[in-house]
């Protein structure tokens, strides 16, 4: 996962490049420093996710424990939702913020590892490559668009509504399982929504996040990338099962 993300880095050393029109030289340098910090934290999250997911997939006793103990797997699924709350509150309190971020990332990574363990290695690799390409393209585009004066703040309400619909549809899927075609459409829509979130959150990173919100900014982008990967993985699995 780390190698996948490494290809999406923009030229973060180019501190002299103006991020968007009207930004002073001093503010521009500060903003580039903030962006570098966020992407450094995000890279560490991706690396940790790679390691934990690989252990979950390859270490047989842990694999059997998670598959054989439904409550333990459910705990790892629920914990990230719980940890988001204190992480939001203490995102400025060091070192509590990094401890919470590590726990959040590990719980997410175990869940991802379980999903990957149930999937053919070839499909996982294809999903990683596609996710890398999409994230690289969207990240580069957003930095370019910001430099040209484009703004993506209008996406906020649209994406919030779209995410709410996806969550409701997800609960419906649990109670009344969708057919393969409906599930494929759901995955495509999910991939589109999280792709748009990458643009929106990258735009916020460039223009709107304050300098002490580096934890929140990295978590937002991490969730965008992970959810995009999972939607692409599910779509590829459906395509594979349906030949």
Predicted pLDDT at 5: 46
| pLDDT tens, position by position, 87-124 | 999 988 889 999 999 999 999 999 999 899 888 889 99
Predicted pLDDT at 62: 83
Biggest CA pair distance of the chain: 57
Q: How many domains are contained in the chain?
A: 1
Model confidence at 1, pLDDT cuts 50, 70, 90, reads: low
Instruction: With H, G, I as helix, E, B as strand and everything else as coil, classify residue 177.
Output: coil
Least confident of 22-26, 129-133, 223-227, 230-234: 22-26
Give the CA dihedral 26, 220, 152, 12, nearest 10 degrees. 40
Q: Once rounded to an integer, what is the mean pLDDT over residues 209-224? A: 95
Q: Once rounded to an integer, what is the mean pLDDT over residues 211-231? A: 95
Count of C-beta atoms within a 10 Å radius of residue 131: 25
Q: Once rounded to an integer, what is the mean pLDDT over residues 191-219? A: 95
Model confidence at 14, pLDDT cuts 50, 70, 90, reads: very low
In this structure, what token pair is assigned to residue 124? 């996982």
Spatial distance between the Cα atoms of 103 and 100, rounded to a whole number of angstroms: 5
Q: Domain span at residue 22?
A: 2-241
């Amino acid at each position: 996962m780390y190698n996948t993300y490494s290809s999406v880095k923009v030229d973060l050393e180019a501190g002299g490049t103006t991020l968007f029109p009207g930004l002073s030289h001093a503010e521009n340098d500060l903003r580039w420093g903030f962006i570098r910090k966020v992407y450094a934290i995000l890279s560490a999250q991706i690396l940790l996710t790679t390691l934990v997911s690989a252990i979950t997939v390859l270490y047989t006793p842990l694999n059997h424990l998670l598959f054989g103990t439904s409550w333990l797997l459910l705990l790892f699924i629920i914990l990230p939702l719980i940890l988001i709350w204190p992480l939001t509150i203490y995102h400025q309190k060091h070192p509590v913020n990094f401890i919470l971020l590590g726990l959040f990332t590990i719980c997410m990574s175990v869940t991802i590892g379980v999903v990957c363990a149930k999937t053919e290695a070839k499909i996982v690799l294809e999903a990683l490559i596609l996710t890398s390409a999409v994230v690289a393209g969207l990240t580069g585009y957003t930095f370019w668009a910001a430099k040209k004066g484009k703004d993506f703040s209008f996406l906020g309400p649209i994406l919030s509504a779209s995410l709410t619909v996806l969550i409701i549809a997800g609960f419906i899927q649990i109670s009344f399982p969708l057919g393969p075609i409906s599930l494929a459409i759901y995955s495509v829509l999910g991939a589109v929504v999280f792709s748009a979130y990458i643009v929106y959150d990258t735009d916020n990173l460039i223009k709107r996040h304050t300098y002490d919100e580096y934890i929140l900014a990295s978590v937002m982008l991490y969730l965008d990338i992970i959810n995009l990967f999972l939607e692409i993985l599910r779509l590829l699995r459906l395509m594979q099962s349906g030949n």
